[in-house]
Amino acid sequence: MRRLIPLLIAALPAFANFIPGTEIDGFGTDVITGSAFAQAPSPLSVSASFTAITAESGPGFLIIDKTLSGGGGEFGGGSAVIGPYSWSCNDFGCITSGFHFGDLLPFTLGVPFQVSISAFASPLGDGSGAAYFAFSVFEAIDLGPFVIKGSSVTITDPPAVPEPATMLLLGSGLVVLAAARRIRVRYPIAKA
C-alpha cells in the first residue's frame, strides 16, 4: 500500500484535465490559453470570463489555434469568445462566427476585449463537454498593397476601474469628512 500512494500522487496531473472546471491563463505573455470541462451529473455547466487588453495599439491580427477547438461527448459541448470571434462545439463539430481556426483574423490592438470559455453537460446519460483554446495577437505591418503579420504582442488583464457609483460614494465620504472637520474647527467643543 505504501508503494501505491506515490504512484497515485504521480498520476494526479494526468487526471487533472478531467476534473470539472475552467481556466484562462497566460496574461502578461503573448499566448493565452483556456480550458473548460463539465461532466454530468454535477456540475452541469462551468464558465470563466476575463477582460483583456494588448500592450500596443493600432491594427493587428489574432490567431486562434485550430487544434484546440473543443467538443462534446454524449449530450455536451463547449463554447468560447475572444473579442469579436466566437464558436461552439458539440459531438457534431464546431460552428464559428465566420472564421477558420489558424487564419490571420483582423484585430484592433489596445482596445479591451472579452475572453470567455464555457462547457456544459446534459444530465441525460453520462454527458460531458469541453472547450479549449490558445490564441496570440500580432502587430500588422502595412507594406502598401498588402499587410503582413508582425511581432507578437503581450496580452494583459487591464487594471480595475472603479464603477461610477463607487466613485460617487468615495467623493461623498470625502465631502462629509471635510465638512465635519470645518465644523469642528469653527465650533470647538468646550472642555469641562
pLDDT in tens, 125-168: 667 888 889 999 999 998 888 888 999 999 998 766 666 666 66
Distance of CA 16 to CAs 20, 21, 123, Å? 9, 10, 22
pLDDT in tens, 88-138: 888 778 888 889 888 999 999 999 999 999 988 877 766 788 888 999 999
Percent of the chain whose pLDDT exceeds 90: 35
The mean predicted confidence, pLDDT, of the chain is: 79
Question: How far, in Å, CA of 157 to CA of 43, rounded?
Answer: 27
Name the band, by pLDDT with cuts 50, 70 and 90, for residue 9.
very low
Whether pTM > 0.85 for this model: the answer is no
Question: How far, in Å, CA of 98 to CA of 192, rounded?
Answer: 80
End-to-end alpha carbon distance in the chain: 79
Q: Which residues pair with 76 in a beta bridge?
A: 121
User: Which residue is it, cell 495599439?
Assistant: 57
- All 3 cell numbers of residue 83? 473579442
How crowded is residue 73: how many other Cβ atoms within 10 Å of its Cβ? 16
Q: Answer whether 20's CB lies under 8 Å from 69's CB.
A: no
